[in-house]
A = this chain, B = another copy of it.
Amino acid sequence: MKHLLLAAVAASLVLPASAQEPAPIPSPGEIATSAPAKDWTAIAPSDLLVMDLAPDAKGTPRRVVIQLMPAPFSQGWIGNIRKLAAAHWWDGTSVNRVQDNYVAQWGDATEKKALPEGLATVPESAYVTRSIAGFANVSSFMGRAFMINKKLKGPPLPPPFDKAEDAYTGVVGFADGWPIAGGPQSEYWPVHCYGAVGVGRNMSPDTGSGAELYTVIGHAPRHLDRNIAVVGRVISGIENLSSLPRGTGALGFYENEAERVPIQSIRLASELPAAEQPRFEYLSNDSDSFARYADARANRRDPFFIKPAGGADICNIPVPIRPIAAK
């Protein structure tokens, strides 16, 4: 079969190499799949949102699982989102906008549904943080930045960590499994990569409550970084949003009510019966496996490839996330 990434399959089918035949260099996916259990970190169900869209035309269920971003990012909004989910506020709302190579967006299309009491108004200052002390693996974030920069060789530089090559800012890397960026004044912010979930707002930076959310379904729109809040990411079922019909109205909004995709429910996974709670884990960015994975994303040496790129932008190093096999 002729296709552009035959190697990904072929290599996975290769038998153990004999002494004469060295095994092919593994692909990034193979490195992640073969990572030991200790290199994976479980995601708490209390940090997962489960969004069930109405079944498709064939009656197939459409579930999207979103991981909420931990402090110190997403201050304020996450509390609002937890309250909205606990109040079942999104039930009966819909996906109202799908703009090609940009975002899918959901919430209350009528703009009239009352919000729960006690939602925080989050100030512009929350778009960045000057402390990443909340991250367990901040040191690895600093240390690993060099991996995605073909020009930085040898040991990573001390904090403020050395600049990774990036078209938008001086520093990019990973913290507790999240892609984040940093600026000259030791500010840090989450990055708008594919699947990132953010908070829609009006013109004033403090108008985003978290009730109106979007996810990126195209090339990373990083011009939105620090201009709109990233508060999570889709970790399962994004195809249920990215393959929706594009809206024909301005900005990809659906022009007819009938085009909107109903949201049956959005729940915190921790509110579901234990047996129904989805379980996921991510490849820890302070693990040797992640180091090998990120290096392989930046330098493809598996059989299909001719010229390793020698680098990668941070959004082309998606953090491996997978369901935890039921015990």
Contacts and interface: CB of A to CB of B under 8 A. Distances in A.
B203 A2 contact: no
Contact of A57 (B57, B165, B167, B205): B57
A316 B222 contact: yes
A220 interface: yes
Interface residues of A, number: 77
Interface in A2-52: 2-10
A31 B194 CA distance: 27
Contact of A239 (B9, B105, B246, B315): B246
A57 to B, nearest CB: 7
A223 B297 contact: yes
Contact of A223 (B97, B309, B315): B309
Interface stretch (A66-74, A225-233, A263-271, A282-290): A225-233
A101 to B, nearest CB: 5
A5 B251 contact: yes
Interface stretch (A76-84, A211-219, A273-281): A211-219
A7 B21 CA distance: 60
B100 A243 contact: yes
Contacts of A9: 250-251
Contacts of A100: 238-239, 242-243
Contacts of A10: 203
Nearest to A103: B4
A253 B224 CA distance: 33
A174 to B, nearest CB: 15
A202 B2 contact: yes
Interface string A161-182: 0000111110000000000000
Interface stretch (A86-94, A135-143, A300-308, A319-327): A300-308
A168 B313 contact: yes
Interface of A: 1-10, 57, 97-98, 100-101, 103, 105, 107, 111, 124, 127, 148-149, 165-169, 193-195, 198, 200-203, 205, 207, 212, 214, 218-228, 238-239, 242-246, 250-251, 253, 297-298, 300, 303-307, 309-316
